[in-house]
Structure 1
Amino acid sequence: MTSEPRTEAGDRVRFPRAGMRRNQARIYEITEAGPGGITAEADGCRYQLSQGDIAAIGIMHADEK
């Protein structure tokens, strides 16, 4: 079983299993993080993602390869 990386407000992340390639490549900044999920912003839009959402689309720090 793999675990998702630890994230906190201010981290820049990507979602490698997002449904669209452009969303996989986009860099999001986490503005809030808590036990229930995160709020992230990209290109002027805000996204609220639950832990289930994150498990489905994956998450990695933007500087990871």
Structure 2
Amino acid sequence: MAHVLTGFMNLTDRLRFVFGPASVGDSAAPVVHLHDDFEHASEEDLSQFEVETDSEGHHYAIRKSDLKYLE
């Protein structure tokens, strides 16, 4: 097993020599989350659902348009 680990470490050393060291960002900095068109479309689709919980604690989604039939 030590032979495999040594081979892996030698490989990563050579890759670091070719590509340079790995860039490490600031771990304390907040994550920047950008919304794209696909995410906006997904949020719009999901806004048409209401999350319900049954007596056993199971969660499920119901279309808001179907809620009027259940009441």
Same fold per superposition (TM over 0.5): no
More helix by share: 2
Q: Provide the TM-score with structure 2 as the length reference.
A: 0.28
Q: Provide the TM-score with structure 1 as the length reference.
A: 0.30
Q: Greater CA radius of gyration, 1 or 2?
A: 2
More strand by share: 1
